[in-house]
Amino acid sequence: MSSRDINLDGGEISILKALGSSSSETMGRDLIEKVSIDLAAAEVIDTIKGLMAMGYVDADKSGFYSVEDLGPIYFRINSGYAKDLKDALNPQTEKPKSKRVRRE
């Protein structure tokens, strides 16, 4: 799967940016604080469940239905999709040219 195959909406982009591109974990309560300006609590829950269903986000626990359930859960970006998601969040039309030069 390439970054061109990944289509993200605004809520998904907000959550992925809040989680960061590294493999570090973020607690649910911290995630809600980071995206509370952009999304309501119910939207956060629905968006995270969608990202988990697609395999882009992993969590310690998959059964959460309220903000209270979401608080103590750790979330992280799936390392298998990390590069593709990073490219989808920051699309580049042209790959940078290599600095390596072939000498003859």
DSSP 22-67: SS--EEHHHHHHHHTTT--HHHHHHHHHHHHHHTSEEES-----SH
CB distance 65 to 48 below 8 Å: no
Instruction: Report the percentage of the chain scoring pLDDT > 90.
Output: 25
Question: pTM for this one?
Answer: 0.79
Summary mean pLDDT of the chain: 85
pLDDT average, residue stretch 33-40: 87
Classify residue 54 as left (phi > 0), alpha (psi -120 to 50) or beta.
alpha
Length of the chain: 104
CATH of domain 3-89: 1.10.10
57-59: strand order across its sheet: 26-27, 74-77, 57-59
pLDDT for residue 66: 86
pLDDT for residue 91: 73
